[in-house]
Structure formats: C-alpha cells, structure tokens
Amino acid sequence: MLKLAIIGTGNISHQFIEACQLSKAYQLTAVYSRKLETARAFAKTYEPLEVFDNLEQFWKADFDVVYIASPNAIHFEQAKQAITAQKHVIVEKPAFSNPRELRTIIDLAVENHVFFFEAARNYHEKAFKTIEAFLADQTILGADFSYAKYSSKMKDLLGGKNPNVFSAKFSGGSLSDLGIYPVYAAIRLFGQPKDANYTATQLKNTVDLNGNGNLIYPDFHVSIRTGKNYDVLDHAEIYTSQGTLHLNHIQGISSAVFQKHDGSKEKLTINAPQHLMLDEVLAFASAIENKDLTAYHTYLNAALAVNQVLYQMRQSAGIIFEADQK
C-alpha cells in the first residue's frame, strides 16, 4: 500500500480519497492546510491522520505520494518541493500553467527518482479502450467535443469578486478548468494535433469565460467547446466514414451509440466507472508499485501534448497567466 498525503482541503480532495479507499491501494496518513484548524476539520473523517500547517514539516512526514489539489498556479512550487523531498506527486489538472513549468517538473522527477502524474481523470477511463477498439478500422472524419458547466463561482464573479477559477494569478479560466477534458479525450483517441487555436469570450484579465477551439489533424478537425457561464447538454460525437458515434459525455462516459448512415444503431458495451476517479488512482498506484515505465511515459507524453495544446490555444486567444511572465 502507498502512504498518501493530501494538499488542499476542498471537495475534490474528499472525492480523491474516496476513490483511493475504493482502490485499496493507498493508506491516507497526512494532510496539509494553510490553517491547522482546517486541516483538523478535514482529518476528522479519516482519523488517525497527521495534520500540518507548515510545509517544511509536512515534507518530513512518513508518506510515499502526495496529491496536490490547491489552485492551479500553486501546483508548480508545491510539486517542486514534493519531488525534492523524494515524494511521488499526483497533481490535479491542469497540473501546470505552461510547458516550461511541466518540463521543469518532469526533469526534476527524473533526477529524484520519483513519479509525477497529472490527475486528468477521463484520460484513464476504460471507456476509451472500448471506443478506440471500435474506431480502429474506421476512417475518422472529425469530432465535436464539449464540456461547459455553469460554475458555482459565477455568483461571486457577477458580484464583482475574482474567484481563483477566473483569476489570471491562479491560471484559471474555462479552457484550463473544463476544456482540458475534451482536449485529453482528443489526444487519448487521435494523438497530438499538428496545430490548435481558440477564440474566447474573455474577462478584463484576459481569462476565458467560454470559448470554441479547433484541433487540426492532417486529415480532420476536432472542435472543442468549453464554458463556465452556460451548460452544454450534448457533449461528444465522433464522425467516421461509416457513421457517427455519440457519447453521453467526454468524462464519466457511460453510453456510446453508433449510428450508421442508414440510420441503424449499435450500442457499445461501456462499463461506467464505479467512481469517477477510481481508474486514475488505480493507474497511478500500478505505475508506482510496478515501476511501470512504459505506462508512466505514455501518461507523461499525453500530459506534455495536452499542456502544449492548451498553451497554444491560450496564446491564440491572448489569454495570459501571471505564471507565463515569471
């Protein structure tokens, strides 16, 4: 079992722990918060647990792997410290703000003989294997992938506040927060595009509220729609020479139906994940425990491709993060 520690006491950390518990591959041992009372409140559900409000002390604690779920722009510094302390790191998506940060972390992880993973949960969903096998002998003509969800932080934004998820200081915005899922799905199924662009509705700080992008492959295009100020109801279609594959979502996929040109339908057998984060936590544990460098490099290459594409898309829309200027 891997000894696990947590940074970030938001709701997603509870969900991650739930998945770890289901996996039976991790034993939760420590939590860090900026405030001891927050760490104690978080720990109550999981006692006994060591609690910290001092990062220097936290890195000396007895654990193998840390899950980092702080605001996006904080990930880089915390991951650097973790790796230097010889801990494996699982960093919530988007792991880092730009290719420079990601490359630094990958190199540092190699130097320190630890693993770094980006927690992009849909990339690890088993549904993609089924979809990939189904599409293997078909010619892809294009795809339309969307993830837009009205954010609970819209109220604050409309009230004149600047929540982390809409902040340039914290590397926020719709593309980084939700658009990353359709981009991961495209790269999982079709590989790295040769080019990418994005047009967005932007706040004064340049961060995007919503937008449309295009991933350009040699023989087809994948359109990407993302938004945090509206809901998309129809999430994913893949167009082939023989028909259209409709997915109920681009993450947490539980249904895939292929409609041929003659209108007849074929339902693929998809086993929806028991928990949205279970497949990824199992994948990370297996790579660490088995020192599975083949799987590890596949995940890293996907993370590099996604990070590069998101950066390119951001650049084309003129979305500038404070992290880009460091």
β-sheet bridge partners, residue 143: 222, 238
State the Cα–Cα distance between residues 28 and 137, nearest whole angstrom. 44
**Nearer to ligand NAP among residue 118 and residue 245 (C-beta):** 118
Considering only residues 98 to 137 of the shown chain, the ones binding ligand NAP according to CB under 6 A are 119, 121
**Nearer to ligand NAP (CB atom), residue 80 or residue 246:** 80
**Alpha carbon distance 122, 114 (integer Å):** 23
Among 5, 6, 9, 166, indicate the residue that binds ligand NAP (CB under 6 A).
Answer: 9
Contacts for 81 with CB less than 8 Å, ≥ 6 apart: 55, 59
Q: For residues 248 and 264, is the Cβ–Cβ distance under 8 A?
A: no
Rg (CA), the chain: 20
Q: Would you say 282 and 25 are in contact if contact means Cβ atoms under 8 Å apart? A: yes
Closer to ligand NAP by CB, 2 or 6: give it.
6
Residue 26, C-beta contacts closer than 8 angstroms, at least 6 positions apart: 1, 2, 3, 4, 20, 65, 281, 285
The answer to whether residue 70 forms part of the interface with ligand NAP (CB under 6 A) is: yes
x-marked contacts with ligand NAP along 226-265 as a string, rule CB under 6 A: ----------------------------------------
One-letter amino acid for residue 218 of the chain:
P
Cβ-Cβ contacts under 8 Å for 294 (sequence gap 6 or more): none
Report the residue number, 9 or 240, with the smaller CB distance to ligand NAP.
9
Residue 38 engages ligand NAP in binding (rule: CB under 6 A)? yes
The amino acid present at 240, given as its one-letter code, is T
CB of 90 to ligand NAP, least distance (A): 11
Contact region for ligand NAP (CB under 6 A) — 67-75, 188-196, 213-221, 291-299? 67-75
End-to-end CA distance of the chain: 38
- The structure tokens listed for 87 are 């801990």
Options 33-41, 55-63, 194-202, 312-320: segment touching ligand NAP (CB under 6 A): 33-41
Residues 157-216 interacting with ligand NAP (rule: CB under 6 A): 164, 177
**Residue with smallest beta-carbon separation from ligand NAP:** 10
Q: Does 64 bind ligand NAP (CB under 6 A)?
A: no
Does 69 engage in binding with ligand NAP (CB under 6 A)? yes
- Of 74, 108, 189, 257, the one binding ligand NAP by CB under 6 A: 74
The rounded distance, in Å, linking the Cα atoms of 207 and 320 is 7
Per CB under 6 A, residues contacting ligand NAP are 8-10, 12, 33-34, 38, 69-72, 74, 92-93, 119, 121, 164, 177
